[in-house]
Structure 1
């Protein structure tokens, strides 16, 4: 079974699912025939659905032997030849269009059509493009958060607006690079930021993936490397430990809503959790182990990984809970409302330092000097925890134990310190003879 058929930068061979040694010991044992395709450094395998045995297989030709008693040998061999030739031809077409971006899923999609003649399943109600996008959201059900659902619906709203403005009816076949560039320009004309545009393109790709898997389309042009999710690193701030302490001691009792927003935010600064976690802590999340109180809960974003975290209840958190909430965490607050209050609190505290912000909006680069208080949001708490613990010399893997970051790369996105501060941190880490 060493023979390879070379063509268009790819090679095809057929082999049994079971090992040769096993089949040689039992030469009449039937085993599935797999198609193996090697292209570049990648390898792909696919079940042909046919079976044969050691005794009936010609390993040199990679075909069923010409044995008169095998009535369907010609049909099987003809199919194997067809799969081989059509796959190589499809791969050539894909490679010409996508280059190295060709992947196993693309090849599987093509073979599903060639081998299984996969087509869109008939439905009682034929759904149009927007209808399938809405069905995607419905099928997701409770597996997605309300925030994610809102993002999906926003993308649909923009796609519908695009149809009206361009006087076109969107279909799956339209989704190609011409549409990508046109839709991107449309969003830029709407004065959206680059990251917002990228968010809607990412959602569109999710819609298309769903449609492809469910058989509503065979269009895979959205998988091109040029059909990319655009994004940029935006200016994000953190509060220093001194600023957090100042916020903690500020008397806001004359405005209870400001006070509660501040207290929830501070718990985020002391635990390093996402807003979806630190904004809903309750009595049931408090546990005691070896004389230390913790918040113990399953992180919302890491539910599928069953990620349970234990955050120590610091003296500052204990003071907040005991002083105003009968020893319990403050009640949850709407995130948009909380963000609005936090900016007001920052202004009261005179966090007026001007921060240089650079971003892309409406397809143009924007540079602004914005007061620090106007950049404070619920997410600032998590960034502040990560940055301050890092500056104090805490091991990043220990920090990640609490934050739930899956990789160092993701963690470092949260480190908002200047290069000279990072250099000083590394210099004190013991790697240099100082």
Structure 2
């Protein structure tokens, strides 16, 4: 059993204050001497014991000193008895005593700052929205991140977008940034290295394109929805759009689409000399016959055909308004499915799909080869000005959806019936963008006045 003996240092101050030393005996071969760091008046110490004075204040002070010394001795005895003797030495005991007398202060961990972009990502994760909307939200997030870097690069080095502090002035400034971003690419290359404008390109990151009103309105619509959610979640009371006076309505030109004759001209053209282009032409014609978006088209498999009809759930509205769209297949559509059924290169898909970007390139190519080059009037998406463009230069996968909707509407003139086949909800404002009240329909209406 370890024992402790108290002694006094031989050195003392002129007033007789002297340090208490401790002699720890563990065994004959293990004796450790330590300085306690505690000091006492030499006349108040005799043979290891404290001599208490009569003065109450001085007596209390000496009692406190004795308590500290006894606690120290108890710790040292327990330490020496619990530690293997071969490990015991003066340095070890001193280190352990120091930890006992001055335990490390455990700092309360500081919670990391919840940033604007943390909340934005939380919104994407928790909100039940479609993959289409998630992709567009990430476009908005990257634009806001570039805007933040742009402000820092222009003098405000500590600038951070904050949920409560983003004002209508910031909204207007962000709009100016979006409209001029294509001009900043060369001046601030590091911004676009850190946050690319396009994350899909496998090659050098392309510079951002000029943005028109419709793009700005779309991005701000997503940002409004984000702030509404934040207010609903009581994360903020801020509404930076409350006093915003910018453009809030998307503007579209008269919808254009190909006629049934033009569709058949493309469908019947001999492209057998170019099998890969022929396959993309067939896919386009099939899309014209079922009217789906390209994202839904490329997700289709043979299992999507049920009892002679194609069935799918539109990805764009899947999170907010899930519905199954069922479109019966006509003879031409069934023939196209049969043409590619069982091919080894389908990889479980309905057709030999390629990327949507390459699909759009192929569409323009076979429009040119097939001679569908009619001039149409379109709105420039950036400037908003009217332009005359040949169909083969502007044709894309979405033209197939417009072709389906526009030609059906000419036949039945019932937007709700056509909408049930295209996936538009009843009374959809968006549906109006896909149809045109053409000259034949206008004549029929005027004839009602006869």
Name the residue aligned to 2:264.
245
Name the residue aligned to 2:430.
410
Counterparts of 1:396 and 1:367 in 2: how far apart (Å)? 27
> Which portions of structure 1, spanning 4 or more consecutive aligned residues, are displaced by more than 4 angstroms?
none
Counterparts of 1:406 and 1:148 in 2: how far apart (Å)? 17
Task: Name which of 171, 174, 180 aligns with 1:189.
Answer: 180
Q: By how many angstroms is 1:415 displaced?
A: 0.5
TM-score when normalising by structure 2: 0.60
What runs of 5+ residues in structure 2 fail to find an aligned partner? Answer: 1-109, 153-158, 182-209, 344-348
- Is 2:336 the partner of 1:351? no
Matches within 5 A, 1:155-170: 155-167=140-152, 168-170=159-161
Counterparts of 1:360 and 1:281 in 2: how far apart (Å)? 30
Name the residue aligned to 1:336.
357
Number of aligned residues: 301
Matches within 5 A, 1:127-146: 127-140=114-127, 143-146=128-131
Name the residue aligned to 2:225.
206
Change (3 A) 1:149 1:296: closer
Change (3 A) 1:267 1:231: same
Name the residue aligned to 1:295.
310
Contact 1:261 1:338 (8 Å CA) reproduced: yes
Counterparts of 1:221 and 1:394 in 2: how far apart (Å)? 42
Counterparts of 2:222 and 2:317 in 1: how far apart (Å)? 20
Counterparts of 1:342 and 1:384 in 2: how far apart (Å)? 14
Q: By how many angstroms is 1:413 displaced?
A: 2.1
RMSD (CA atoms): 2.9
Contact 1:268 1:382 (8 Å CA) reproduced: yes
Name the residue aligned to 1:400.
419
Counterparts of 2:413 and 2:247 in 1: how far apart (Å)? 36
Q: By how many angstroms is 1:308 displaced?
A: 2.4
- Is 2:340 the partner of 1:320? no
Instruction: Look up the SS of the partner of 1:379 in the other structure.
Output: helix
Q: By how many angstroms is 1:245 displaced?
A: 0.4
Counterparts of 1:271 and 1:192 in 2: how far apart (Å)? 31
Name the residue aligned to 1:171.
162
Rg larger for: 2
Change (3 A) 1:280 1:150: closer
Instruction: Look up the SS of the partner of 1:356 in the other structure.
Output: strand
Name the residue aligned to 2:82.
none
Instruction: Look up the SS of the partner of 1:222 in the other structure.
Output: coil
Task: Name which of 133, 137, 142 aligns with 1:152.
Answer: 137
Counterparts of 2:244 and 2:148 in 1: how far apart (Å)? 25
CA-to-aligned-CA distance 1:348-383 (integer Å, 9 cap, x gap): 12222222322352xx44343222112211111111
Name the residue aligned to 1:35.
none
Name the residue aligned to 1:383.
402
Q: By how many angstroms is 1:230 displaced?
A: 4.3
Instruction: Look up the SS of the partner of 1:392 in the other structure.
Output: helix
TM-score when normalising by structure 1: 0.62
Change (3 A) 1:130 1:281: closer
Counterparts of 1:355 and 1:325 in 2: how far apart (Å)? 36
Q: By how many angstroms is 1:330 displaced?
A: 1.5
Change (3 A) 1:221 1:349: same
Q: By how many angstroms is 1:240 displaced?
A: 0.6
Counterparts of 1:180 and 1:234 in 2: how far apart (Å)? 27
